[in-house]
């Protein structure tokens, strides 16, 4: 597992595995937010499996980049919804394209007869990690 984390560059806090100059947590948050308009910070925390305070810090960083904006719920001022800006949509599209290119290259390098086995093993690994 440690070798996998290092090979993907997940231990490098200032860039994604696909080489973009964005922290991995910020990239994941932006991609989730770009999938659903107006997701709450609590909803984002649940999807990312992170503490609410961590998500609040991530959203602040994304806000500083001009990629998202917070909006109070009209019916409940305690609720905050996060919306992706136009610049954020562009950044999310760039991140998604970079991610797709990187992982397509990796997957293509796996010998064809082993691809299904690798995909199944990754699914199993993810399931076990989520359950523990």
Q: Tell me which residue of 52, 8, 6, 7 sits closest to 29, measured CA to CA.
A: 52
pLDDT (0 to 100) of residue 90: 96
User: Per the confidence metrics, is the pTM higher than 0.75?
Assistant: yes
pLDDT score, position 47: 95
Tokens encoding 40 = 């709450």
Residue holding tokens 């523990």? 132
61, 68 contact by CB (below 8 A)? no
**Is 78:42 a contact under the CB 8 Å cutoff?**
no
pLDDT tens profile 66-120: 999 999 988 888 888 999 999 999 999 999 999 999 999 999 999 999 999 999 9
Delimit the domains of the chain by residue range.
2-131
* CATH number 3.30.750.200 given to 2-131: no
d(CA 120, CA 51): 29
Residue 72 has phi, psi (to 5 degrees) of -70, 145
């Amino acid at each position: 597992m440690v070798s996998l984390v290092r090979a993907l560059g997940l231990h490098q806090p200032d860039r994604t595995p696909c080489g973009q100059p964005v922290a991995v947590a910020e990239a994941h948050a932006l991609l989730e937010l770009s999938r659903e308009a107006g997701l709450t910070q609590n909803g984002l925390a649940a999807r990312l499996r992170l503490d609410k305070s961590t998500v609040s810090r991530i959203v602040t960083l994304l806000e500083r980049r001009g990629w998202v904006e917070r909006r109070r719920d009209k019916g409940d001022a305690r609720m905050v919804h996060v919306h992706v800006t136009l610049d954020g949509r562009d950044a999310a599209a760039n991140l998604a394209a970079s991610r797709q290119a990187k992982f397509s290259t990796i997957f293509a390098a796996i010998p064809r007869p082993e691809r299904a086995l690798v995909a199944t093993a990754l699914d199993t690994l993810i399931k076990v990690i989520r359950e523990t």
